[in-house]
Chains A and B, each alone.
Chain A
Amino acid sequence: MKYYKIITPIAIVAAIVALYVTPGSGKVESGYVVGDLARDFKLKDVTGKQVSLSDYKNAKGFIVIFTCNSCPISQMYEDRIITLNEKYESKGYPVIAINPNDPLQQPSDSFDKMKERSKEKEFNFPYLFDETQVIATAYGASRTPHVFLLNKETDGNRVKYIGAIDNNLKDGKMADKKYVEEAVEAVMRGDDVSTTITKAIGCTIKWKRS
Chain B
Amino acid sequence: MDKKHLAASLFALFFAFNTTAQNVEVIKFKDLDRLINERKDEYRIFNFWATWCKPCIVELQYFEKLRENYKGNLTVYLISFDFVEELETKVKPFAQEKKLQSEIKLLDETDYNSFIDKISEEWSGAIPATLFVDNRNGNKEFYEGELEEKDLLDKFSHFTD
Contacts and interface: CB of A to CB of B under 8 A. Distances in A.
Interface in A139-156: 142-143, 146
Nearest to B151: A26
Contacts of B11: none
Interface in A92-133: 106
A168 interface: yes
Contacts of B113: 163-164, 167, 177, 198-200
Contact of B127 (A27, A164, A170, A201): A201
Nearest to A197: B113
A72 interface: yes
Interface residues of A, number: 24
Contact of B145 (A199, A201, A204): A204
Secondary structure of the A contact surface, majority rule: loop
B53 A203 contact: yes
B126 interface: yes
Secondary structure of the B contact surface, majority rule: loop
Nearest to A143: B126
Contact of B110 (A106, A169, A198, A206): A169
19 contacts: A72-B50, A72-B52, A142-B125, A143-B126, A164-B112, A164-B113, A167-B110, A167-B112, A167-B113, A167-B114, A177-B113, A198-B113, A199-B112, A201-B126, A204-B55, A204-B128, A204-B144, A204-B145, A204-B146
Interface of B: 50, 52-55, 81, 83, 110-114, 116-117, 123-128, 144-146
